[in-house]
Structure 1
Amino acid sequence: MNVLIKTATILDASSQFHNQTCDLLIEKGKITKIAKSIKNTNNYKEVSLDNLHVSQGWFDSSVCFGEPGFEDRETIENGLKTAAKSGFTSVALQANTNPIIDSNADIAFLLSKAQNHAVTLLPIGALTKNSDSVDLAELFDMKNAGAVAFSDYKKPITNPNLLKIALQYASNFGGLVCSFPIETKISGKGMVNEELTSTSLGLKGSPNLAEAMQVARDLFLLEYTGGKLHIPTISTAESVDLIREAKRKKLDISCSVAIHNLSLTDQVLVGFDTNYKVNPPLRTQKDIDALIDGLKDGTIDMVTSDHNPISIEDKNIEFDHAAYGTIGLESAFGALNNVLSTKKTIQILTKGKTRFGQKNNPIKEGEIADLTLFNPNTTYAFAESNIVSKSKNSAFLGETLKGTVYGIISNNKIVL
């Protein structure tokens, strides 16, 4: 794949061309020249787009595609296409399929399905067999097969001794253990944030305490074991404080936040729209402010779309019975760029790769071309026509977003 990118503003703090407008020549998947102006002597494909900006390829640490078992929600093929058109060159895929991804053969299946795509699929294996929180899955075998981490998607490890053993065992081969932060005995049947909104709407609430207690427990276990822990999709001010203190202690801890938990408060629930039924639930502006502060000071390591396609049959029903989850890949950049500066947005979207065992590819001559192309300044109302996913359950429908993704160049392929 040979291409000449014309007049692009480079946003990459690790590059000598950061904040400069240049041409980029890419030959056979590598950046061979960066200069103010490059002549197209070989008649390569040219990319010239309005207000074109280029950054390192974006990474998402938590997406769901459904296949195998839930192909009606999403397939790997279309999921990777969605990720590419949303600006992501690599995505970590959750194990919440049918069957659950909990063996080396399952990991091999996912990788085989994702071959020859522009987007790199990074499989996450289940932490426990069938994600039932009873026995550990084949962690070492899955690691050798290509798993980048281990997680029971949206399911907490209720037995603290099991998490302790997982951290100890995985530390033998550098495995990254993920623990979803909710204490179910506190949250009970709560499905939204426990606050004034839940009370006024008559919806069962789950308090911040349910998340904070689990985070505190997991951090105690991490300190005891000396393992390597990732806490996905935190949503409360208390969690930010706890993880900030853990980082002061130099514990090997990372965490993420879902973009919808940075953008939407529980007040949107007034219309009982099930697209807003997510886990963890949408919280208050106080929590959002604390999460944004956590991103800015480095307490929170990365953001995720937490992309979770759900079929219409599981969403278009009463709120109490609707499934949790929202798609988020297509809206990720525009929503985050609303909340943070473009510079910070790109910094956050390109973070997290090394935590999941991947290499960063700076925008420099001689480096592999792993690039996202975008315009940060457009504004538009997010509509169903903007959705590439098979499922349409987006919490951002009707929201005004800022910034348009043009596509990616990655794995010696271009998607525009």
Structure 2
Amino acid sequence: MKILLKNSKVLDKNSPFHQQDVDVLIEDGEIKEIAKKISKQADKVFDNCLLLPGLCDLNAHFTEPGTEHRETLFSGTRSAAFSGFTDVCVLPNTEPVIESKSDVGFIKNGSANGVRLHPIGAISEGCKGENLTEILDLENAGAVAFSDGLNPIYNTELLLKALQYVQKFDGLIINHPKDIHLSQFAQMHEGKVSTILGMNGEPSISEVISIKRDLDILSYAGGRLHFSQISTAEGVELIRKAKKDGLEVTCDVAIHQLLFTDANLTDYDTNYKVDPPFRSEKDRKALIKGVQTGVVDAIVSAHNPQDPESKDLEFDLSSAGICSLPTFISNLLQLSSSIDLEILIDKVSNSPRNILKLDTVVIDQGNKAQMAIVSTDTEWVFNSSVNPSRSINSPQYNQSLKGKCLAVINGEELIINP
């Protein structure tokens, strides 16, 4: 198949055509030619688009096996392609947990819709924080990192052993930093808004003391540690100092943490209930500054689909999570009013791959075509007619959004979005 991309702007800092308006010819999955003007016939033509390297997500929950009514690997990859992703890391919190070679193989074999799936192996059996899994077997089977996913690693001895163990193959440990006791009954961020609403809040120190503890263990044990979904100004500062001190630490932030705060919860809309909770405007601004200055290494979808039985409840009984993949590219473009778009694209393409030690994707002649074709001006409504996910737990459902991924190309696969 021949695909011609005309009058399109390349946004890929590793490409010699970065920031240039060019025509791109792709044939049988390979970038054959990039020039100012290409006058050749093609099977499919896209015009006046933004060309991005295929995006890479470090944090998505696809819930298969176990709760396929929320999401399957197929609907999950379709949702990822809908926002321009070609690589997605899948959390281990499935039923059963991703803790064996066959579990890893099942996730990898679920790659579809132009999206390659990368299993994150569980650190502890059943993600319960007690006994280490067979980490070496999981790594040999293809696990790209090790984490208990949605569950924080509360067991200090387990974290210490895991950090020491993965050094045998330069592996990566990922932790969701929060104190299980301080967050046990929390429904939102602890602050003025939680007091007004009369809801139990999770204080910022829940995250802060967890990050402090983990950094001390990292300093003692060595290894590579990644903090997933940081949410506090104090957390950003702690990681900044740790990097300055030479620790091998990285972190990411969920895209919705850059858009919303605890003030959005005043209507008790359960679609704004997430973990970690939306925090104050001060925290949101600190996270944005962390992205701008390089303290925050990646932006993730933190896609966590829920069924109506888990969301259409009183706020304190509902489950945390946002169906965030379908709206990701629109939200990323929205953030470009606060953060340079070139920085944003790096945080969802090159930087996540560097953290995982995956091959860099470069838009250049002779390379495999792996890219997202984006229209920055297209307006669309996120509703049932276009939603690729099996879930609708998003505060942006039935809302009009601007910016859309028209298609993804991954080798010989062309996935055109509705």
**Aligned AA (1:121):** L
Per-residue deviation, 1:44 = 2.8
Alignment match, 1:47: 45
TM-score with structure 1 setting the length: 0.96
1:392 is aligned with what amino acid?
I
Conserved 8 A contact 1:338-1:401 = no
1:269 aligned onto 2:265: yes
CA gap of 1:383–1:286, structure 2 versus 1, over 3 A, is: farther
Shift of 1:379: 4.9
CA drift of 1:252 comes to 0.8
Comparing 303-312 with 152-161, which one deviates more in the overlay? Answer: 152-161
Question: Which residue number corresponds to residue 329 of structure 2?
Answer: 333
The answer as to 2:304 corresponding to 1:305 is no
Question: Contact 2:113/2:415 (CA < 8 Å) preserved in 1?
Answer: no
Report the AA paired with residue 278 of structure 1: V
**1:105 Cα deviation from its structure 2 partner:** 1.1
- Give the percent of matched residue pairs that are identical in Structure 1 and Structure 2: 39
CA distance in structure 2 between the partners assigned to 1:12 and 1:96 by the alignment: 33
Alpha-carbon distance, 1:118 to partner: 1.0
For 1:271, what is the secondary structure of its paired residue? coil
Q: Indicate whether 1:148 and 2:147 are aligned.
A: no
Q: Deviations over 1:90-142 (max 9, x none)?
A: 1101111111111111001111222x541111111111110000001111111
Q: Does 1:342 align with 2:338?
A: no
Q: CA deviation at 1:150?
A: 0.9
Structure 2: runs of 5 or more not aligned: none
What is the distance in 2 between the residues matched to 1:205 and 1:211?
13
In the alignment, structure 1 segments of 5+ residues that lack a partner are none
Supply the distance in 1 between the matched residues of 2:356 and 2:409 (Cα, whole angstroms).
21
Runs of 4+ in 1 over 6 A off after TM superposition: none
**Match of residue 57 from structure 1:** 54
* Distance in 2 (alpha carbons) for counterparts of 1:121 and 1:226: 28
Deviations 1:46-105 (A, max 9, x none): 3223x3110111111111111111110011111111111211111101111111111111
Corresponding residue for 2:361?
Answer: 361
Q: Secondary structure at the match of 1:165?
A: helix
2:209 is paired with a residue of what secondary structure?
helix
Distance in 2, matches of 1:282 and 1:65, equals 22
Q: Which residue of the partner structure matches residue 373 of structure 2?
A: 373
1:224 aligns with 2:220: yes
Deviation at 1:397, TM superposition (A): 3.0
Q: More displaced, 176-185 or 234-243?
A: 176-185
Give the direction of change, closer, same or farther, for the CA distance of 1:285–1:401 in structure 2 (3 Å limit): farther
Deviation per CA, 1:338-389, whole angstroms, max 9, x where unpaired?
2233333222221311211311121111111110110223455644544220
2:182 aligned counterpart, secondary structure: helix
* 3-state DSSP of counterpart to 1:267: helix
1:203-242 pair list within 5 angstroms:
203-242=199-238
Count of residue pairs the alignment pairs up: 412
1:376-415 equivalent positions in 2, closer than 5 A: 376-379=376-379, 382-397=382-397, 401-415=401-415
CA distance in 2, matches of 1:400, 1:235: 27
Select between 157-166 and 116-125 the one with higher mean Cα deviation: 116-125
CA distance in 2, matches of 1:106, 1:222: 28
- Tell me, in whole angstroms, the C-alpha distance in 2 between the residues paired with 1:53 and 1:172: 41
Amino acid of the structure 2 residue aligned with 1:75:
T
Partner AA of 2:288 in structure 1: I
Change (3 A) 1:200 1:385: farther
Aligned-pair CA distance for 1:153:
1.6
Distance 1:380 1:29, change over 3 A: closer
